Amino acid sequence: AASPLRPYALLLDAQSATTDIADLDWDSIGFGIHPTDYMYVMKCNKDGSFSKGELQRWGNIEMSPSAGVLNYGQGLFEGLKAYRKQDGNILLFRPEENAMRMKIGAERMCMPSPTMEQFVEAVKATVIANKRWIPPSGRGSLYIRPLLMGTGAVLGLAPAPEYTFLIYVSPVGNYFREGLAPINLIVEDKLHRATPGGTGGVKTIGNYAAVLWAQSAAKKKGYSDVLYLDCVHNKYLEEVSSSNIFVVKGNVISTPAIGGTILPGVTRKSIIDVARSRGFQVEERLVSVDELFDADEVFCTGTAVVVSPVGSITYQGKRVTYREGGVGVVSQQLYSVVTKLQMGLIEDTNNWTLEL
Ligand code: COI
């Protein structure tokens, strides 16, 4: 198991870690795991509050084989990114949104959660301690992965008696190997990601295990990912395995409304605001699968994917292509604004970024 470090040793270590930059081939990091120097670990007390969080050396963790997270999937994760600015400072993007989402998800999954302040402070400490792993400006970001897990032992089905909050980070490049090049999606019309009253609207780990089968099958057929439909009518768009979806027609941008089966993405929310501020009409509503065949452009949004243009979608054997398979002008424009905001290249009038 990873050993805790004494505070002064840690401080010295963390300071030296901030003075240089890790030796990685930054142009080929992709979206894979690159172990870094430290992770943050905080346990909950008997009363459900969290305290005494600490940075530890990156390493494996130990838990009971009957831990709630291993047996009954009592776990949540988050995802956010830190960017290195051209002046060397670090920017986080709306970390309090992730803190809030974890709190809401924890309630649904019967777990205690850190306060929003604890969450954001822990993210900051983890990023600073791993500063040398943040890619040079313009060549990627540091992906931050907070976890909340039922680590106490249970056998009968019940909430775990103990919980652990943990953050690890990894430098990342593009999520899809296509980069900003358009991806090809297939609509899944048999398997579903979420059900009304279920947990599709929170970032619980099981939602992601549930999409692996369809995703693997799609990849074998050469598609980048799967677009899910609602499970009641099998007709309305929900989301892609790892991102939200937007459909563009003229000046109108439509996206499935949040209603318990769709993950309320931080990038989704930001894109809606950015698009409106740039004069687009944005509609959050039921979006029928038929609308895909009449759209000018489609794109996905998420922390990992940022904005990913869609080149084609296949549904029941029919394939529709957008912008002749090239990057759409609207996707390109929104991608450019959001990434520039995240990297501190344009003025942040919304106060979305947090500079470290
Ligand atoms: C993210 O976009 O950060 C996510 O959590 C999706 C994940 C499957 C990579």
Token pair recorded at residue 104:
């809401």
Atom 6 in ligand 1: residue holding the nearest Cα: 242
| pLDDT value of residue 5 | 53
Distance 6 CA to ligand 1 centre (A): 33
User: CB of 302 closer than 6 A to ligand 1?
Assistant: yes
Mutate to test the pocket of ligand 1, among 76, 102, 242 (most ligand atoms within 8 A of CB): 242
CA 76 vs. chain centroid, Å, equals: 12
C-alpha–C-alpha distance, residues 249 and 306, integer Å: 21
User: CB of 301 closer than 6 A to ligand 1?
Assistant: no
User: CB of 79 closer than 6 A to ligand 1?
Assistant: yes
C-alpha–C-alpha distance, residues 321 and 311, integer Å: 6
Q: What is the pLDDT of residues 174-220, one digit of tens each?
A: 887 767 789 999 999 999 999 999 999 999 999 999 999 999 999 99
Distance 31 CA to ligand 1 centre (A): 10
Distance 304 CA to ligand 1 centre (A): 5
Within 8 A by CB and 6+ apart from 354, the residues are 91, 92, 93, 95, 120, 124
Q: The tokens 């930001």 sit on which residue?
A: 270
C-alpha–C-alpha distance, residues 68 and 66, integer Å: 6
Distance 79 CA to ligand 1 centre (A): 6
Atom 8 in ligand 1: residue holding the nearest Cα: 242
Max CA pair span of the chain: 62
| pLDDT value of residue 11 | 55
Annotation marks residue 235 as catalytic: no
| pLDDT value of residue 176 | 74
C-alpha–C-alpha distance, residues 307 and 74, integer Å: 30
Distance 11 CA to ligand 1 centre (A): 31
Q: The tokens 């394939």 sit on which residue?
A: 319
Mutate to test the pocket of ligand 1, among 123, 243, 303 (most ligand atoms within 8 A of CB): 303
The DSSP letter of residue 112 is -
C-alpha–C-alpha distance, residues 211 and 226, integer Å: 8
Distance 32 CA to ligand 1 centre (A): 12
Please provide residue 303's backbone torsions phi and psi, each rounded to the nearest 5 degrees.
-65, -50
User: CB of 306 closer than 6 A to ligand 1?
Assistant: no
User: CB of 304 closer than 6 A to ligand 1?
Assistant: yes
Token pair recorded at residue 16:
């030296």
| pLDDT value of residue 1 | 46
**Beta strand pairing status for 306-315 and 183-188?**
parallel
User: CB of 267 closer than 6 A to ligand 1?
Assistant: no
| pLDDT value of residue 175 | 82
C-alpha–C-alpha distance, residues 203 and 329, integer Å: 31
CA 56 vs. chain centroid, Å, equals: 23
Atom of ligand 1 nearest to the CA of 78: 5
Q: The tokens 């470290």 sit on which residue?
A: 356
C-alpha–C-alpha distance, residues 148 and 160, integer Å: 12
Where the chain has pLDDT below 50, the residues are: 1-3
Atom of ligand 1 nearest to the CA of 175: 9
Residue 140, helix vs strand vs coil: coil
Atom of ligand 1 nearest to the CA of 80: 3
| pLDDT value of residue 312 | 97
Contact (Cβ atoms closer than 8 angstroms) between residue 288 and residue 236: yes
Choosing from 203, 221, 269, 340, the catalytic residue is: 203
User: CB of 105 closer than 6 A to ligand 1?
Assistant: no
Burial group, residue 1, by CB count within 10 angstroms (0-12, 13-18, 19+): exposed
Atom of ligand 1 nearest to the CA of 241: 8
User: CB of 242 closer than 6 A to ligand 1?
Assistant: yes
User: CB of 343 closer than 6 A to ligand 1?
Assistant: no
| pLDDT value of residue 287 | 98
Q: What is the CA radius of gyration of the chain?
A: 20
